[in-house]
Chain A
């Protein structure tokens, strides 16, 4: 089975622009989470979605938004990009929502560079 897939793999934007990142979970998984990993740091939680509903949000500004589609794929949108948004954005999927004992499986990430 295919793992978590993300697109695009790399992206270059300029300050003030908007970006959309995409994620397809492992087949059968209904939960998707998004993380931001800045160089030299561990991943920071942004959002979790389960069955198309937002279940949790990390300490990120409203410029960050996400949604989950009926096929459980997800998009992460970032508006008004700042230089500090440059990072590796990771998507993770699990079969159920958090609170269960499920493992999150991560995709390869999208590397975003804001100039």
Chain B
């Protein structure tokens, strides 16, 4: 069965510092991995995805994510956090040939000025 784990309910980071939001997954076959961000009372906004190729994926708003097959992880990173990055972040996985995304429970990121 497919699953996604986001082990941290909340991550606090000072503005200007690097940030990491963790995600691990379990899936049969090749994984398609996604990160979405959700602002209050809004839907999910796509940040980036890993399908195949380079393990470091660059996305919107300066975010990037590193795919690690041996550790089954897909951590979201940003070199320098902004207060405006404060939001709820979701990792999702979809196994190739399947029709649905499996989402993690979300990690609330708070960037402190």
Q: Give chain B interface residues in 17-53, CB to chain A under 8 Å.
A: 32, 34, 36, 41-46, 49, 51
The answer, among B44, B99, B104, for a CB contact under 8 Å with A106, is B44
Contact A99 B104 (CB under 8 A): no
Contact B43 A106 (CB under 8 A): yes
Contact A107 B43 (CB under 8 A): yes
Closest to B106 in A: A42
State in angstroms the CA–CA spacing of A4 and B101 once bound together.
17
Contact A108 B42 (CB under 8 A): yes
Contact B100 A45 (CB under 8 A): yes
**Is A16 part of the contact surface with B, judged by Cβ < 8 Å?**
no
**Contact A42/B90 with A48-B100, A99-B98 known, Cβ cut-off 8 Å:** yes
Residues of A within 8 A of B103 (CB): 35, 42-44
Residues of A within 8 A of B90 (CB): 42-43
Per-position contact with B for A93-115: 1 when CB-CB < 8 Å, else 0? 00001110101111111010000
The answer, among B42, B45, B104, for a CB contact under 8 Å with A42, is B104
State in angstroms the CA–CA spacing of A98 and B34 once bound together.
14
Contact A101 B32 (CB under 8 A): yes
Residues of A within 8 A of B86 (CB): none
Contact A55 B36 (CB under 8 A): no
Per-position contact with B for A22-38: 1 when CB-CB < 8 Å, else 0? 00000000000101000
Closest to A41 in B: B105
**Is A81 part of the contact surface with B, judged by Cβ < 8 Å?**
no
Can you list 28 residue pairs at the A/B interface with Cβ under 8 Å? A40-B105, A41-B105, A41-B106, A42-B103, A42-B104, A42-B105, A43-B101, A43-B103, A44-B103, A45-B100, A45-B101, A48-B100, A55-B99, A56-B98, A58-B100, A90-B43, A98-B99, A98-B100, A99-B96, A99-B97, A99-B98, A101-B32, A103-B46, A106-B44, A106-B46, A108-B43, A109-B43, A111-B41
Footprint of B on A, CB under 8 Å? 4, 6, 33, 35, 40-45, 48, 55-56, 58, 90, 92, 97-99, 101, 103-109, 111
Footprint of A on B, CB under 8 Å? 4, 32, 34, 36, 41-46, 49, 51, 90, 92, 94, 96-106
